Amino acid sequence: MNHEITKTALINATSIYYEYLQNYNLGCEQLQILGINIQESIIKFFIKAKFVNTDSLMLDVCGRYTPLSEEAGFCVLFYDEKTGILAIECLDCALLEKIEKHKNDIKLFSDLKFLIRNLEMFFENAKSFALPTKNPPLAKKPLLAQNTPLNQNPLTQNPPSPTKSNPSQSPSTAQNQHIEIDSSFTPKDYLNAEQKSALMCALSEPFSYIWGAPGSGKTQVVLFEALLYYIYNGLPVCVLAPTNSALEQVLIALISKFDTLGLNREKILRLGTPSNAFLEKYTEVCDPQVLQKKAKDSLFSTTTPKARLKEALLIGMTMDGFIKKHASLGIDFCHFFLDECAFTPLIKALVLTTQNTPITLLGDHKQLMPICEMPTSQIKGDKIWANLFNLSSLFLEDFFAHSAEISAPIFGKSQSSPLCFTQDNSAKTAFCILRQTHRYGDNLAKILDSHIYHNGLKGKQENTQIFYIDCPNAIIEDKQNITEARAIAALTKELDKQKPPLSQNDFSDFAIITPFIKQKKLLSDCGVSYRRIWTIHGSQGQEFDTVIFSPVMLHHHLTDSRNTNASYALNVAISRIKKQLIIVCDRAYWLRFRGQFLSEILANALPFPNQANLTISQNPLKKTSSQSHLNTPTKHPSKDIEIIKI
């Protein structure tokens, strides 16, 4: 493939996407500042926002639009989702004085265009693009046996210095060379057959995809054992994820597993801005630049960034963080592991193909695809290059199948197009499926397999607890369901009173998920805590013991499982649960739709315990612009209901 043609295509894509965001005033959101507290050089913003991408923050100080980056004189310390506190340090004394003087006029933005520029700069400096051909490096020693005592565990000591790959080996030589895992390596007995196969695949193939439903062992088994393999041999690896939330979820799972082995946490490094909860619990894992600013008396405050990078073997970053920082790290990674790969845009994943480093994708393409601000109706003609933002990283092989010219097939594909490596044995992507999940009982797994996965998904013997709260004769208008909202408000009021330890059903860790933004607003207006309410897209990467789902209505794009994208969105909502699912809806309404995913779940659900004791308010809400229609409620018709299409 001609690298200059590829580079031109990628730069065209970033330029077109940036121009679209600029012209339609998209990708830039002003964050509502509730208050500002300044102590010495530390500035704390109290903001109202569920999700904040700390890589895209911009500050407006008296008309001066400045990114919150070190180059601009700022250091983002942390963002606490629960309290809404964003802490930064201002390193420029003159700028700090200006902020103190005009703090009532300060504006804070999240501007995705800043990230697009970083991506464009990365591509401009890149020299080559290709799927990796270099096989993962062989281990020199076998993995620890399961019964190795911790006091004999070399992982708790300093491993040998990383070995460099042989620079004299050309890509063609690496591609033609048959390489196998060291014969002394044997996957541990606790892995099932599919997990063992996936692990061997990741450790022997230059480019692989591990597909599995939540709880199938992608992270806590396959990824963990692969990372253990590398760390044991002193080889640096990089774990990546599309969002901060997704990155921290995977790191928390991995750290917990490593802790049981007595692994020194300083072998793990999370670059970028952590959440406050992560920072407090896993301090020694966090970016040293953040730690140096956190507390003067911190045990880790004297550790320099270079020293931490030198001693760490597992480095975690968001994709945006990698794009921004990779050139300055100076690390020759031995393997890239990209989690939540289906949610990662293809164009961002392409930065990993500039290194000829083995890549393993982990994820579930039966969930949400990337969010592209540019509608597909606009991605055509000379704007077709922007399709690289719409497709997921799982189309990497498709991208390199043809020269990246405007007529290439990749620019005509959609999110629902078949993945090429599932079609024949000549594919360059080594593909493994994990079909056994411990997250769901077999009752829910069978429904998921029937409607979503179609691959023989199996769950654990113990059934998942599925409940419903019936809201007959629901009042619906403009994608809002007032009956569901009031029932959920009453339910959450009761659940908030509970404190662990609880008896049979523990509902203390719960969240409300709905497909509709307007329903989220209505739930908040009904008295439900704003920080407990999520849209399906916003909940991506989150996990809760209990999910309360408000479906609102049958909607072609969001809740009609006959539409592939809607079925994947519903899968995301259901897969957030760890223990219980509660669906609040007009049950009879949904059961009329035979063959629907939600209908089958409801047919297998039990009435919620003590539903009769819920005190559901019938008082009118305070009238707002989003609720003016509620004065003239519309009820579900008693006869057949047509699917709404927009």
User: Which CATH number is 471's domain given?
Assistant: 3.40.50.300
Torsion sign (Cα): 110, 116, 119, 124 = negative
- Residue 173, domain member (yes or no): no
**Are 334 and 402 in the same domain?**
yes
**Apex CA 369: angle with CA 364 and CA 372, to 5°?**
160
- Residue 135, domain member (yes or no): no
pTM flag (> 0.75): yes
Q: Helices 319-329 and 112-125 meet at what angle, rounded to 10?
A: 40
- Residue 475, domain member (yes or no): yes
**Are 331 and 382 in the same domain?**
yes
**Are 70 and 56 in the same domain?**
yes
CA distance 47 to 33: 5
- Residue 182, domain member (yes or no): no
- Residue 312, domain member (yes or no): yes
pLDDT of 163 reads 34
**Are 549 and 493 in the same domain?**
yes
- Residue 92, domain member (yes or no): yes
**Are 446 and 401 in the same domain?**
no
**Are 516 and 589 in the same domain?**
yes
**Are 396 and 480 in the same domain?**
no
**Are 312 and 381 in the same domain?**
yes
CA distance 553 to 471: 12
Domain holding 255, by residue range, is 193-291+305-433
Which residues of the chain are modeled with pLDDT < 50? 139-181, 183, 296-302, 422-423, 501-504, 623-646
Q: Of 125, 158, 180, which closes a domain? A: 125
- The domain tally of the chain equals 3
**Are 84 and 229 in the same domain?**
no
- Residue 14, domain member (yes or no): yes
**Are 315 and 226 in the same domain?**
yes
Q: Of 125, 149, 179, which closes a domain? A: 125
CATH code: domain of residue 105: 2.40.30
Q: Of 81, 101, 125, which closes a domain? A: 125
pLDDT of 175 reads 33
**For 38, which DSSP code?**
E
Question: 240 in the Ramachandran plot: left (φ > 0), alpha (ψ -120 to 50) or beta?
Answer: beta
| Among 219, 313, 318, CA closest to 275 | 318
- Residue 297, domain member (yes or no): no
**Are 263 and 351 in the same domain?**
yes
Pairing of strands 436-441, 458-460: parallel
**Are 312 and 343 in the same domain?**
yes
